[in-house]
Structure 1
């Protein structure tokens, strides 16, 4: 085993890498967001999934304001070290639209189809 160092990941020119969040129980892909090295380190330290908000230029702990939290179960590094998979325990919807997943629109034969409604 090798000691993990977030600095060994390959970040883009903004110092970020994409992170896919997946529900640990169902395997459902919930969302894609971004982390910098500090967000990766903070996530590993606290087990509360922490992203980097590109629009606010600030850390964003998932569920901090909504209560729809993500607790880290496992963090996986892809083969090129330029993408992460966060296997999480999701409480409540993952999407800011109040849907379970941010990936709720299917494109079939050039037509968009909504796969799920917002949770009530």
Structure 2
């Protein structure tokens, strides 16, 4: 599902960015958070619209002329939340929007069993004979 969400972000960027403009896709791990992002250099998403674009059937004012149902980013956000994360919108430096799926990383390893030394096993066998 995460791949579906990331591809949806790329599809949105391709829809809204000017033809021939660059769309950047990347990932990073910062502290205990994995980030999957898509950055475009299109019209961007106004700060007032940055929360509403994740609601079903709702779209930013600037995107009303583009075909779509208004479900794409709602699906992305639902997938991110199902993995304990979120999706956020920020402004791309120089213009455009960067949409980032942020996922917490659970780095705590399960407790490992106490190692058993072969010598101890041999002593136990001899003692039980």
TM-score, normalising length from structure 1?
0.29
Q: TM-score, normalised by structure 2?
A: 0.28
Looking at both structures, which has the greater relative contact order when contacts are Cα pairs under 8 Å and sequence separation is at least 6? 2
More helix by share: 2
